[in-house]
Amino acid sequence: MKNFDFLVIGSGIAGLVYALQVSKYGKVAIVTKKKIYNCTTDYAQGGMAVVLNKEDSFTEHVNDTFIVGGEIGKKNVIRKIVEEGPKGMQYLIELGTKFTKKNIHRNYSFENLSLTKEGGHSHHRIAHAADSTGHEIMIALIQNCKENDNISIFEDHLAIDLITQHHILQNEEFIPNRTCWGAYVLDQKTGDIAIFRAKKTMLSTGGGGQVYANSTNPDIATGDGYAMAKLAGARIANMEFVQFHPTAFYSPEGKTFLVTEALRGEGAILKLADGSTFMEKYHPKKCLAPRDVVARAIEHELRVSGKKCLYLDATKIDHDKLKNHFPYVNKKCKEYGIDFTKEPIPIVPAAHYFCGGVLATVDGMTDIKNLFASGEVACTGLHGANRLASNSLLEALVISMRAGNHPLNTEEVNFPKIPEWQNVGNFNENEWVVISHNREIINTIMQGYVGIKRSRRLLKYAADRIFNIYNEINNFYQHNPVRPEVIETRNLAIVASIIIRSALSRKESRGLHSIIDYPERDDKNYLKDTIIS
């Protein structure tokens, strides 16, 4: 058994900020299933939306967020997060994050930060570090965590289950109130499973983009946090709202990377294969329309034309500005033989961000005592039915700072006797060869039937298929020793099921949930959240 005051599962901005905050109160373990920098935060290109100049206002940022979110976001939550943005930005700067400045010779004052504009925003309010904002934030956070004597980092460790009542033998007395006392964690190098016991656990595992065939997410994004929380009894909210980023790089080989929305903010234009524009048919803001609008427009044009991809043309932007402002996109395009200063970039929509997640307060508190959640894994009420561009880093930062300074962090916890993990049987390689194909099948089902445009008939078909797949995987999981690929496939099946159930529950089209059976918004019956318990 490993004993800590705080357990952080996940190593993106949400987890590392919380770890740094609570390290003032005790010993912290950060568990991450690959290396500490393998997280979705590291992939974030565009930046962080923060009100930093007098031409902008908190009220306008709140309204932009609420409107883009289909008007089901929680205005009280939105306002709190938006108003604490500047404080969070100052914190990141003090940690050493190197944001892009207007004048490189001046200091990191808010007035000297370079701000850009993205879809759905009424002002230039996106602070960035060229087009590798997440990476720069991670450099600063990782360095500070490694220098902190109270923080221990466990790489190549996969959390299997949150430890709650359902693991405890209650033969002497009942334990009221569902409570978390840490997690069972697999050391992927040794195969050993240890109890990581902690007074407080932060779930910051990111999203589940790998449930789809086409995703901008890293390989680690297999929905582990959603699945663990669901199995432990937490409520999950608004999982039908899956954001497909409109502009992921298209390659016939299937390899993709995110082409930042900031390119459109600087003037890049979406075009059809024949070079004509089309976004004027769909929204007054054209290429700077909210992501859900742009993704649906591209998906429709692809279906009508039968083409594999459309194009993002940045050739009219100053070439030096392109290369200096977007070095990551420039580098990645060159790897595929494309000079984006001279030719358009082939793009397709790809699964990008889950607006729903583990139901949590603005302080990160969940249904389960001692369990916090922050970042993409959580649903705090900020995003509603669609995330406003560059609000994700802001949310993770603010929620984790609030959670890390919550009074509950200093309370004493009485631990029950936690049983050791019991592995069963010998791993059945022959059976696993067959079951392992289920991961690819899940991807195919979700991409084809639960994507940008949905129908109830296909959702019901997908529900039946995923139900059978989950039962098959879970049966194998129950009768074989634990392996990472088994856990991840189990988690993907659970997440797929939650998304489908949520989508079937919402009989309207709103934000990222577009269903042909109910093409209009229904404010009378569905101006509310979808809760799966």
Q: Give me the catalytic one of 125, 197, 291, 454.
A: 291
Q: State whether 444 and 515 are in the same domain.
A: yes
Q: State whether 236 and 265 are in the same domain.
A: no
Distant-in-sequence, close-in-space partners of 163: CB < 8 Å, separation ≥ 6: 180, 181, 182, 183, 184, 195, 197, 418
Edge to edge, what strands does the sheet with 236-237 contain?
378-379, 357-359, 236-237, 531-532
Q: State whether 291 and 190 are in the same domain.
A: no
Q: State whether 397 and 497 are in the same domain.
A: no
Look at residue 203 and give its three-state secondary structure: strand
Mean pLDDT of the chain: 94
Per-residue confidence at 131, pLDDT binned at 50, 70, 90? confident
Query: What radius of gyration do the chain's Cα atoms show?
Result: 22
**Active site (annotated) includes residue 291:** yes
Mean pLDDT, range 428-433, rounded to an integer: 91
| pLDDT of residue 254 exceeding 80 | no
Q: What is the sign, positive or negative, of the torsion defined by CA atoms of 403, 408, 414, 416?
A: negative
pLDDT digits (tens, 9 = 90+) for 177-199: 899 999 999 999 999 999 999 99
Q: State whether 120 and 231 are in the same domain.
A: yes
Among 387, 389, 385, which residue's Cα sits nearest to residue 510?
385
The CATH number of the domain where 369 resides is what? 3.50.50.60
Mean pLDDT, range 269-293, rounded to an integer: 93
Look at residue 13 and give its three-state secondary structure: helix
Per-residue confidence at 241, pLDDT binned at 50, 70, 90? very high
What are 179's strand-pairing partners? 369
| pLDDT of residue 118 exceeding 90 | no
Q: State whether 194 and 113 are in the same domain.
A: yes
What are 200's strand-pairing partners? 6
* β-strands 378-379, 357-359 pairing: parallel
Q: What is the pLDDT of residue 106?
A: 85
pLDDT digits (tens, 9 = 90+) for 342-364: 999 999 999 999 999 999 999 99
Does residue 424 sit within a domain?
no
Contact 92, 397 (CB under 8 A): yes
Q: How far is CA 530 from CA 72, 238, 258, 435, in A?
A: 11, 5, 29, 31
Q: What is the pLDDT of residue 45?
A: 83
Number of domains in the chain: 3
Look at residue 199 and give its three-state secondary structure: strand
Global pTM? 0.93
Does residue 419 sit within a domain?
no
| pLDDT of residue 498 exceeding 90 | yes
Largest CA distance in the chain: 74
Q: State whether 236 and 249 are in the same domain.
A: no
Q: Kindly report the CA angle at 172 between 168 and 174, in degrees rounded to 5?
A: 60
Q: Residue 233 is encoded by which pair of tokens?
A: 């009894």
- Count Cβ atoms within 10 A of the Cβ of residue 173 and give its class: 0-12 exposed, 13-18 middle, 19 or more buried: exposed
Q: What is the pLDDT of residue 512?
A: 94
Q: What is the pLDDT of residue 441?
A: 96
DSSP per position, 483-517: -HHHHHHHHHHHHHHHHHHHHHH--S-BTTBEETT
HSE, side-chain direction, 13 A CA sphere, residue 206 = 27
Domain, as residue range, for 129: 2-240+355-410
Q: State whether 111 and 223 are in the same domain.
A: yes
Mean pLDDT, range 270-289, rounded to an integer: 94
- Count Cβ atoms within 10 A of the Cβ of residue 227 and give its class: 0-12 exposed, 13-18 middle, 19 or more buried: buried
